Amino acid sequence: MSDAGPIRLTKLAKRAGCAAKHPPGFLLPLLGLLPPITDPNVLVGSETVDDAAVYRMSDELALVLTTDFFTPIVDDPRDFGRVAAANALSDVYAMGGKPLTALSVVGFPDSLPASVLGEILRGATDIATEAGIAIVGGHTIKSEEPIFGLAVVGTVHPNRVLSNAGAQPGDALILTKPLGLGIITTAAKNDQDTHGAIGDAIRVMTTLNRTAAEVLGRFEVHALTDVTGFGLLGHLRNVTAASKVTAEVWVDRVPFLPAAREYVAAGVAPGGTRANWRFLADWVDYASGVTIEEQLLLCDAQTSGGLLAAVPQSDAVAITRALDEAGSLAAAVVGRVQAAGTGRITVTRAG
């Protein structure tokens, strides 16, 4: 605590959480400059903009490799560590894998007491323990803003990798967490969270995607990703582009945190959300009647959001029921894969 009162970490960050990521319009051209990967043991690399890399070690074992870190999304240091850890672990679950271990990635300013970093690390350890792994080391540098995240290693059978490239025409699209996290956390940072919705947002962000992944693992899943900084439509665009299909999203079936609707109507949205919306203008067609506020919600930059799965339509009811029974925060069929195509997405209402 400072002389002026409790330290508010979000006031030290220009951009918060996954909204601090460079937008897809910046990243995708750079990835296109990389030479093709020729190692046959690389099962998933950067070419499909997937959640993690997968490297085959043997016929029975592959490693899932990922890293994710960002500036504070919440004010409390322990909550920041919890959110960042859950967010990084999510990439392994999104590949059908199981986390094995992790390293911390830290940038920390001299202006903050070391006890703040201690609380961040404690929060991350809480989530790692819940996931059944240890944080075994890491690296720390001095920085102007606090930065925290994890580099995570997981395992998966080479024949059970779930990538974003397998969606098939006719598949149902299932989402496992509500949207609106970027809008609510931005409202809280700007002292505009009049409903105190940040508590609900923290609950969503610190909920591991482990249970949802375990449920999905009992069914046939054609493609899987998690919804983070590029928003629902941005990550779905990665699925449709990698799978060479088109898709339809029903905005009236998508679960949103209630306060996010009110805040976005008042003009609250992080810069990352608006950057996603601009980029996706070349990929998404909105039906008449889909408001700009709804468009922004669908493009909202999430931090530690839910899983988005493409599954056989015939299994959709059973999967959502199983997710509900397992305590999923939101198990909803939010759209469908339509046909082979160039990756375009249509947003409409189911009616």
Supply the residues annotated as catalytic.
18
β-bridge partners, 153: 65, 101
Contact status, residue 326 vs residue 216, Cβ threshold 8 Å? no
Tokens of 205: 């962000």
CA nearest neighbour of 278 among 19, 23, 4: 23
Buried b or exposed e, range 52-75, using 16+ CB within 10 angstroms: bbbbbeeeeebbbbbebbbbbbbb
Buried b or exposed e, range 220-257, using 16+ CB within 10 angstroms: ebbbbbbbbbbbbbbbbbbbbbbbebbbbbbbeebbbb
The torsion angles phi and psi of 16, rounded to 5 degrees, stand at: -115, 140
172-175 and 284-286 beta bridge pairing = unpaired
Alpha-carbon distance of 28 to 108, in angstroms, equals 29
- The half-sphere exposure of 29 on its side-chain side, counting CA atoms within 13 A, is 5
Contact status, residue 212 vs residue 152, Cβ threshold 8 Å? no
Alpha-carbon distance of 39 to 36, in angstroms, equals 9
Contact status, residue 147 vs residue 105, Cβ threshold 8 Å? yes
